[in-house]
Structure 1
């Protein structure tokens, strides 16, 4: 038995030596012919840019409120001085650094008088697409330095096929930016066999990811420990890279937040205090500890799951640190009550490395497997990007047309009330005119005097809430926006006050709870 183990170890070492020789020969050929390498890089860059721009155009649905309320709505208020800030900005748990980036784009459009609502919606999305494209390029060339061209090609194929990456990467979500920055940082991270490592560059990108979203530290914690353990000059790493970059990131972030909060605010500390120590995140829902293991991870990785598991059996020794990051991240998020699919999105590129290795080892079956993988990812990607949950965006296009009515002083000024779960739709960033709009508020209980959840009170007794809130006809809104499931409950109020349904907009084939299949716009006559 011992002799068999020794023989297997010897054979593994021989295979590793052969692999290194093949890779060394490949890189020497590339270095001898830099023109070919440059042409390849240009082709990859062009392909990724075009691919992600198409990706951007073909995602016309909503995912979660944060993609607007923690970015574009804040940016719009910063530049145009009207809009709504959610309770997080009043409590100081969100940083202005991320929305500031979009605010700069908005300001440029405003200065050149091109601040149309169309550009305000799509320019940030295009910017996210370009960031995702740069991450794709770096990801491809990282795998190409670690593996042979065949593995790099199949890994890249798996990465581009991922339905969840398609669904998320061009959205104005902090999770999307965090994932793109993680890919960029991984390119410079000192993985075994990497020829592009740079401590300063990867630590700067990690610091930027933490500024955008503090939870980026969860993903990078084991990688930072691994780097420290492997580093020969540990003291130099800490004093010349970690401390200067960390201090600079904290200072820059604090200064930006100080300017916009008009007081000294450390949002990273507040984020931890409210979400972890005070458990405020639980207000938005909680799941059992095993949710990521039984549902979340399987949905995010999608049809790539069998290839990921197969790839783990092949390359878990070679990439044990990357597999450890995936397991660590899922474990940490499993311990937190509030869970969402997007939270584990940053480890998806790590998983694609194992998927690519799996496909490259299938030999004769890999083309069939690739077709199955492509089709099985394409269907959910197109469905979730073009059909599922699109109504909350389409309704804002209809309401934006009321801006012309609002500019006519001879007509009744539009007054819109959203009778929907709070933050169901974007707000002023998607109409870009100071219409009078209001929605049902639902801040969490921060143990403040006079707290109440307006949305909960409304849904508890909708007719009573409406009669109490609008005792006189003169105080009634001109437009009501609601999901179809609410129509029956308030039909008496609608008829008594001459509200007429003017628009019906499809939203989803899978209505759930207070979210209906369609959205109705009622207008008072």
Structure 2
């Protein structure tokens, strides 16, 4: 079976499901299976920056990474708050079992993913059945043209016989391995994707052409327009008549008549002697590229609306139309605002989308939002919403906090995120997109070049760009990729499953099901940083430690303070590692290298190094990494762990320690992934290993 066959049969299945009245139910079932099928770990942030924080807030124990220190405040509370509500419901209903705490966020994320899928179905249908008719761009045609596709899906064909590529696009969407692998995860990128989909859908509705009707002005493909169209057809407005008018309009365009005159003549044909429009709900599409080059549908209202045959209810229809467009804009702003609060990286995308929409509104059209109205609504809403977000974050950190600004300063201006890895500028274009799109990669880049070529051929390239929302979204996506490329640190997840890297989940499962007499007597040490999910997956009050990997601090004199993981790795688990458990090295200032449930704060031990201020700090404070100094200078010392979790890569360096303190393998090696070993000379298997200390 070839890939083409898969697409062919997949399209048939997708068509059957998406055309069904139970479409949303099918999507929910699909994503529930998706969430249960993916039993792997992708990036640490899907736990450490979301459900681990929520678990800490609700149950009083867990771990908060360095980004959540008040002096750093890089993260907004909005995303973890969602899961905190789920955990709180489990807590007050006393249903907070380890399995319930584990699966509640997954099920919730699956429901959100299904809602995102439903948004994709509606968006693709809107774009390629109502706005652009199979990609031919009818919404960009001037002179009151509308789509030939009705709001229902039964009327699929036009006189040209073309079918919209809705199901083909949806098939490619559902066959994307990366989307299946990531969308049901509890990372902020998954929420960003879902919010982007709905935000684009709502703003796309404001690109629907406005057509003259017996009630004034209506949106093409709206319910009112569809009902009126059906009524007109029952009075004798046949398809033959509409095709005849269509061919007449095409002839007029070819002869050089402006689109406005076509509409005027069309309106005259529709006005009866009684002053009522007989075929007001019927719209016509001017054919040919020449008509398409004329501009946008914005010219329609000026010639068609004022005719005397239109009832006096037109003013009310205009008001209703504006209300609908305001509602769409507000819903889009709601989605995009949440998106930027959760993922500040999304800001370039939405700024570009709204800027192009603002340019489109500048052309003006009776019955639609003008540039001044769009600007007023957009700025007012954005200011109010982000003030609310700032108030929430400031309340949490007890100081004036703008997490979006802090995130931008840290990731784009300071360059300190290079600690997490550096990549070339072209990394997203040369590595990430090909790995995500696979066989679709050539078509992805071809479509981009085709878009540039088609827009450049237009008489007015800017109008050709702003008059089509799909083009605006493509340009905004490209802008976001380029803006993310300016950061030295890049990851696949920023573009947002049972085998690769499944071991972290299985390690958590091992300890979640561990039989003990007292959880508080169990100590676990992991020889990496955020290598496995912690309390959000285990939900038991074990003492858990790991090698801290907070970003290095550069002192004013140029000296660099390295974190514990680097010091121990550079020492090959030698003296520095042994001293963590040497009682003779213990001092009054020493801190246990474990998270202490019920007594922990941001780090290890029982001491709160960054206590919450008693009074609110009204001045804005820049990121101050010196507040993390305690993580590097405080001596760590405590008892030997009962369990030690490591990988096969670290096993040779730990062999002497394991033998000296009588550690024995307590479970079969858990396969993690393939990696280059022996200095990159061969491909080897990496596994997680769980050791338990025996009696001395």
TM-score, normalization: structure 1? 0.79
The answer as to whether partners of 1:416 and 1:438 remain within 8 angstroms in 2 is: yes
What is the deviation of 1:311?
A: 4.6
Deviates more, 1:425-434 or 1:64-73: 425-434
Partner residue of 2:481 out of 325, 330, 346: 330
Q: Deviations 1:307-340 (Å, cap 9, x if unpaired)?
A: 4345556666464323312322222122221111
Q: 2:183 aligns with which of 165, 169, 181?
A: 169
Residues 479/407 of structure 1: CA separation in 2 closer, same or farther (3 Å cut)? closer
Partner residue in 2 for 1:181? 195
Mapping of 1:294-443 within 5 angstroms? 294-309=430-445, 311-312=447-448, 317=454, 319-345=470-496, 385-402=497-514, 404-407=516-519, 413-420=521-528, 422-443=529-550
2:372 match = 235
1:427 Cα offset (Å): 1.0
In the aligned structure 2, how far is the partner of 1:160 from the partner of 1:123? 24
Aligned position for 1:484: 648
1:175-324 aligned at under 5 Å gives the runs: 175-190=189-204, 192-193=207-208, 198-231=328-361, 232=364, 233-239=370-376, 241-309=377-445, 311-312=447-448, 317=454, 319-324=470-475
* Cα distance in structure 1, aligned partners of 2:380 and 2:41: 39
- RMSD after superposition: 2.5
State the shift of 1:179 in Å: 0.6
Partner of 1:353: none
- Report what 2:48 is aligned to: 69
Aligned partners of 1:503 and 1:133: how far apart in 2?
Answer: 37
Cα distance in structure 2, aligned partners of 1:443 and 1:466: 17
1:329-384 deviations in Å (ceiling 9; x for gaps): 22212222111112122xxxxxxxxxxxxxxxxxxxxxxxxxxxxxxxxxxxxxxx
Deviation at 1:467, TM superposition (A): 1.7
In structure 2, what is the Cα distance between the partners aligned to 1:513 and 1:459? Answer: 16
CA distances 1:125-144 after superposition (whole Å, capped 9, x unpaired): 22112112112112112221
Note if contact 2:553-2:562 (Cα within 8 Å) is conserved in structure 1: no
Q: Which of 566, 579, 584 is the matching residue for 1:456?
A: 566
Q: How far apart, CA to CA, are the structure 1 residues paired with 2:389 and 2:669?
A: 41
CA distance in 1, matches of 2:449, 2:127: 18
Quick one: structure 1 residues 167 and 454, their matched pair in 2 at CA, closer, same or farther if it must change by over 3 Å?
Answer: same
**CA distance 1:324–1:454, change in 2 (3 Å):** same
Q: CA deviation at 1:180?
A: 0.6
Offset at residue 193 of structure 1 (A) = 4.3
The answer to whether 1:108 aligns with 2:272 is no
Does the 8 A contact of 1:403 with 1:435 survive in 2?
Answer: no
- Cα separation, partners in 2 of 1:257 and 1:426, compared to 1, 3 Å: same
Q: Match of 2:516, SS?
A: helix
Task: Return the index of the structure with the highest Cα Rg.
Answer: 2
| Aligned length, in residue pairs | 444
Separation (CA, whole Å) in 1 of partners of 2:439 and 2:526: 37
Superposition deviation, residue 41 in structure 1: 6.2
Deviation at 1:87, TM superposition (A): 0.5
Q: Secondary structure at the match of 1:434?
A: coil
Q: Which moves more between the two structures, 90-99 or 513-522?
A: 513-522
The normalised TM-score by structure 2 is 0.60
Q: Distance in 2 between matches of 1:209 and 1:141?
A: 20
Deviations 1:279-317 (A, max 9, x none): 222110011112122211111222322343455566664
Tell me which residue corresponds to 1:362: none
Task: Say if 1:392 and 1:507, in contact at 8 Å, map to a contact too.
Answer: no
Give a deviation string over 1:460-481, Cα, whole Å, max 9, x none. Answer: 1112222221114982111110
Q: Which residue of 1 aligns with 2:672?
A: 508
| 1:364-407 CA-partner distances (Å, limit 9, x unpaired) | xxxxxxxxxxxxxxxxxxxxx10000101100111223463324
Answer with 193-202 or 45-54: which moved more.
193-202
What is the distance in 2 between the residues matched to 1:417 and 1:205?
A: 41
Alignment partners' CA distance in 2, 1:249 and 1:83:
30
| 1:146–1:193 Cα contact (<8 Å) kept | no
- In structure 2, relative to structure 1, the CA distance for the partners of 1:463 and 1:39 (3 Å cut) is closer
Per-residue CA deviation, residues 49-78 of structure 1 (Å, 9 max, x unaligned), is: 111111111111000000000001000001
| Higher fraction of helix | 1
Hey, what does 1:521 align to over in structure 2?
690
1:403–1:338: structure 2 CA closer, same or farther, 3 Å change rule?
farther
Shift of 1:521: 0.9
8 Å Cα contact 2:519-2:540 kept in structure 1: no
- Classify 1:138/1:225 alpha carbon distance in 2 versus 1 (closer, same or farther; 3 Å): same
Written as runs of structure 1 = structure 2, the 5 A alignment for 1:76-91 is: 76-90=55-69, 91=72
